[in-house]
């Protein structure tokens, strides 16, 4: 009964309630969810939508630029929507869409920091937009209604450039624009923005000559724009500087205007003329529109040069997990805290004495028990005191094995021993003597 109970208990404790496939599925699913959580925290995905109806690349309303970003992405460009100010100095074309009340000095700081890094395209604001009314039930998320116009006011940025706003023409016809080998019409016939300034090199104009988009003449060498515009610019002073393009009329490139094929072609032409070919990076800034986000440890972990260390750690964790899953042999069954039988009782008692560090206290009782067994085996009087009994054992040993070590000497050595090695050796010698006399 005891043996059967012990076997049954061991199987129940050591059995695995899950199969290998179930464990693998749980681990993989948990790891994937954990990595997704880290990615969402690092990138901000799922913590608020950028489709808020404002004029930026995350907005799908009339005033946004989501259509331009999506179009360039479909055309093979590496489009990125930037929410971190630290990423504004990366190579590639940076598209800035500041609101009307943006800080001009902040815009100038961003532009000047990129003059030797990459081209910059600044698109000015125009429309005042509000959310749809309650009776507009068919409106989707991010849609807006246009309630007015507001030209940009950016003191500290291109102060020698002014922006005018007015009707397209007296006849109320749609504005017809042309430039860079393209032509088209603006979607609105009542309001148009154009720029004025001595450093403006026209790229796109209205049919009457008003400048809708221009290149800033800063002494740089821009052959791609010269070729696209079909004209030569002024004297070249710095061939290393990158171009700065200003689009005064946002309906050339916003979602409102991107319904026109001409606007889509104009967007790609501006990107190509800036020196960015298919597959090149195009960065759409969201920080000036209040959607900026600071870096955290998670975003840094997935950003070079820390990305290499992160990948190594992930690979090491994958290897460790795989080795743990493919362990050698079956899992060890858990032993009972207190085993069955006399042998287990002795083992438990010995373990307790060993852990207590008092092993030398067993020497005296062990000698006494050995002496009592020899007195009984040699038929010696039981009334002998311990000293005379040990002397009688020595005489019996001398008579049978004259060259053997006396009992009294081994007993004294065992009582004096303190180290486990000495105790064990003396106990074995005493046990061997006992066997010689009893046999």
Instruction: Average pLDDT across each block of 10 residues of the chain; the chain has 439 residues. List them in order.
Output: 40 58 80 77 60 84 92 93 82 92 92 92 91 78 83 91 81 81 87 90 90 90 78 73 94 91 93 91 90 65 76 84 68 64 75 74 85 87 86 86 86 86 87 84
Cα–Cα distance for residue pair 48/262, rounded to 1 Å: 33
Which of 277, 292, 307 lies at the terminal end of a domain, its last residue?
292
Domain count, the chain: 2
Q: Is the pTM of this model over 0.85?
A: no
Please report the pLDDT score of residue 158 as a whole number. Answer: 92
Task: Kindly state whether residues 364 and 281 are assigned to the same domain.
Answer: no
Domain span including residue 402: 358-438
Is the C-alpha dihedral spanning 203, 207, 209, 210 positive or negative? negative
In a domain, 416, yes or no: yes
Task: Kindly state whether residues 278 and 415 are assigned to the same domain.
Answer: no
Please report the pLDDT score of residue 43 as a whole number. Answer: 59
Cα–Cα distance for residue pair 178/266, rounded to 1 Å: 10
Please report the pLDDT score of residue 75 as a whole number. Answer: 93
In a domain, 33, yes or no: no
Task: Kindly state whether residues 132 and 239 are assigned to the same domain.
Answer: yes
Cα–Cα distance for residue pair 91/56, rounded to 1 Å: 20
Give the HSE-up count for residue 340: Cα atoms under 13 Å, Cβ half-sphere.
9
Cα–Cα distance for residue pair 108/300, rounded to 1 Å: 27
Cα–Cα distance for residue pair 23/29, rounded to 1 Å: 10
Which of 292, 313, 342 lies at the terminal end of a domain, its last residue?
292
First to last CA, the chain: 38
Which of 247, 270, 292 lies at the terminal end of a domain, its last residue?
292
Please report the pLDDT score of residue 294 as a whole number. Answer: 59
Please report the pLDDT score of residue 6 as a whole number. Answer: 41
| CATH number of residue 207's parent domain | 3.40.50
Task: Kindly state whether residues 257 and 145 are assigned to the same domain.
Answer: yes
In a domain, 13, yes or no: no
Nearby residues of 428 by Cβ (< 8 Å), 6 or more positions away: none
Cα–Cα distance for residue pair 61/128, rounded to 1 Å: 12
Find tokens 């007296």 and name the residue: 170
């Amino acid at each position: 009964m005891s043996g059967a109970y012990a076997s049954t208990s061991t199987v129940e404790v050591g059995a695995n309630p899950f199969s290998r496939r179930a464990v693998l599925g749980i681990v993989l699913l948990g790891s994937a969810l954990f990595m997704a959580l880290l990615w969402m925290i690092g990138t901000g995905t799922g913590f608020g939508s950028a489709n808020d109806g404002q004029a930026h690349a995350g907005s799908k309303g009339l005033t946004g630029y989501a259509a331009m970003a999506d179009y360039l992405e479909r055309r093979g460009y590496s489009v990125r929507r930037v929410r971190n100010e630290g990423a504004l100095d990366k190579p590639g074309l940076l598209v800035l869409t500041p609101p009307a009340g943006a800080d001009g000095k902040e815009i100038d700081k961003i532009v000047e920091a990129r003059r030797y890094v990459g081209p910059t395209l600044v698109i000015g604001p125009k429309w005042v937009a509000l959310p749809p009314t309650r009776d507009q039930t068919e409106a989707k998320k991010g849609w807006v209604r246009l309630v007015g116009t507001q030209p940009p006011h950016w003191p500290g940025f291109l102060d020698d450039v002014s922006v005018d706003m007015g009707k397209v023409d007296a006849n109320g016809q749609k504005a017809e624009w042309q430039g860079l080998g393209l032509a088209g019409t603006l979607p609105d016939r009542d309001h148009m923005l154009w720029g004025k300034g001595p450093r403006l090199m026209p790229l796109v104009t209205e049919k009457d000559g008003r400048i809708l988009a221009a290149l800033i003449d800063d002494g740089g060498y821009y052959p791609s724009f010269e070729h696209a515009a079909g004209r030569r610019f002024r004297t070249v002073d710095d061939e290393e500087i990158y171009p700065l393009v200003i689009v005064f009329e946002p309906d050339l490139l916003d979602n409102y205007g991107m319904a026109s094929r001409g606007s889509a072609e104009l967007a790609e032409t501006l990107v190509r003329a800036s020196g960015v070919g298919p597959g090149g990076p195009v960065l759409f800034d969201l920080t000036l529109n209040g959607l900026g986000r600071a870096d955290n440890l998670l975003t840094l972990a997935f950003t070079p040069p820390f990305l290499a260390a992160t990948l190594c750690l992930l690979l090491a964790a994958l290897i460790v997990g795989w080795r743990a899953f493919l362990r050698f042999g079956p899992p060890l069954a858990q032993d009972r805290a207190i085993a069955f039988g006399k042998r287990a009782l002795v083992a438990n008692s010995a373990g307790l004495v060993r852990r207590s560090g008092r092993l030398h206290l067993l020497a005296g009782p062990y000698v006494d028990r050995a002496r009592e067994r020899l007195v009984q085996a040699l038929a010696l009087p039981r009334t002998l005191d311990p000293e005379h009994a040990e002397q009688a054992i020595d005489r019996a040993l001398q008579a049978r094995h004259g060259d053997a070590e006396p009992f009294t000497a081994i007993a004294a050595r065992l009582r004096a021993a303190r180290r486990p090695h000495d105790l064990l050796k003396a106990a074995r010698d005493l046990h061997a003597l006992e066997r010689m006399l009893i046999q």
